[in-house]
Amino acid sequence: MKLYEPAALLLLLAACSTEHHPKTAESAPLEKQLVSVAPARDVSQSVGDEVIGTVHARSVAVISPSVMGNVRALHVKLGSQVRAGQVLVELSAKEIDAKANQATAMFAQADLDLKRAEQLKASQSIPESRYEAATAQYRVAEAALAEANVMRGYTTLRAPFAGIITAKQCEVGDLALPGKPLLVLESPGALRLEASVPEIIASLLHAGDVLSVRLDSLPEPVSATLSELSPSADPISRTVLVKLDLPNLPGLRSGMFGRLTVPTGNERAVLVPSSAIVQRGQLELVFIVQDQKARLRIVRSGRANDGNTKILSGLRGGEVVVASQANLLVDGQPLEIKP
């Protein structure tokens, strides 16, 4: 093994430990960014509990027969729009038809007998008792025919109001039983949200209250009027059923999912324009204005509504935030503020 002299070893170690750092160019100054600003507003907001509900039609008719028979004709399909009184289903009921034919024949015979009795009475050829018997027989036959016509009318099912067929549970040839649903008819222009509200907050509600409802099919919440409030609570779920009338808006359909907000009080909140929120990875940021420069601030946001976002932490009311072009800024960037 080769041994080095102490002086040579020191020179070798010094040479090995020497690091060469190339000179880096100085970073260019940040350019001014033209932005608009807005103050963070400290406001009083109502707070509430959110309750899940379902959209239902106010007018719903379950079309089911009153007599037994087979479906002879089906004049609608799923989604059909119908008018009030339109024929939906026709049933074939041989027993009812037979009784109706029998009643028709009996009435025709009773009518003929009564007319003959009237002629004989006019010529005083029959006693009064025979004429009265013919009259009574006519009235019995007339009532039987009316009853048979009512029964025959039950074999034709009509729409009780104008609407849309939302469910079809039969086909031609199926056996129709009394009370068995064949169709469901709904009025599309009148919808409401039905929700079960916990009894602890149901006492805060009254008929006529206007509440906020969020529906996944609509971009913004809608105002709904509380039309019905159950006077009793469900003993199992400890909830109270409420029904709210919804506005007639395109895109609303029965069966949709909705969220009802029940106000329970007020709280202070800081609001900023939603455009001021910048999402970078898992962080939410805003840029506040200090000495004409953008200063980065990490925040935690809440619900957005009407173009404003609630700030839960990281910002105080009165601070000025960048409301436009915020996603283009870096910390410390000079700002030119739009007048």
Shared fold status for 33-45+268-337 and 67-91+157-188: no
In CATH terms, the fold of domain 94-154 is Helix Hairpins (1.10.287)
Q: For position 188, what pLDDT does the model report?
A: 76
Give residue 27's pLDDT.
56
The reported pLDDT for the residue numbered 18 is 41
Q: Which of 92, 80, 63 is nearest to 157 (CA)?
A: 63
Identity of residue 149? N
Q: In CATH, what number does 33-45+268-337 get?
A: 2.40.420.20
Pair 201, 178: CB distance under 8 Å:
no
Sketch the domain layout of the chain as residue ranges.
33-45+268-337, 50-59+189-266, 67-91+157-188, 94-154
Topology classification of domain 50-59+189-266: Elongation Factor Tu (Ef-tu); domain 3 (2.40.30)
- State CA 50 to chain mean position distance: 15
Tell how far CA 165 is from the center of its chain: 18
pLDDT tens figures, 53-74? 999 888 889 999 999 999 999 9
Please name the helix (run of DSSP H) or strand (run of DSSP E) that holds residue 265, with its range, or none. strand 257-273
pLDDT on residue 183: 93
200-209: burial string, b at 16+ Cβ within 10 Å, e else = ebbeebeeeb
Record: fold of 67-91+157-188: OB fold (Dihydrolipoamide Acetyltransferase, E2P) (2.40.50)
Q: For 156-189, give one letter per residue: b (16+ CB within 10 A) or e.
A: ebebeebbbbbebebeeeeebeeeeebbbbbbbe
Q: State pTM to two decimals.
A: 0.55
pLDDT at residue number 57: 87
Question: What's the pLDDT tens digit per position in 224-235?
Answer: 999 999 999 989
Low-confidence ranges of the chain (pLDDT < 70): 1-28
- Measured CA to CA, the distance from residue 208 to residue 228 in angstroms comes to 9
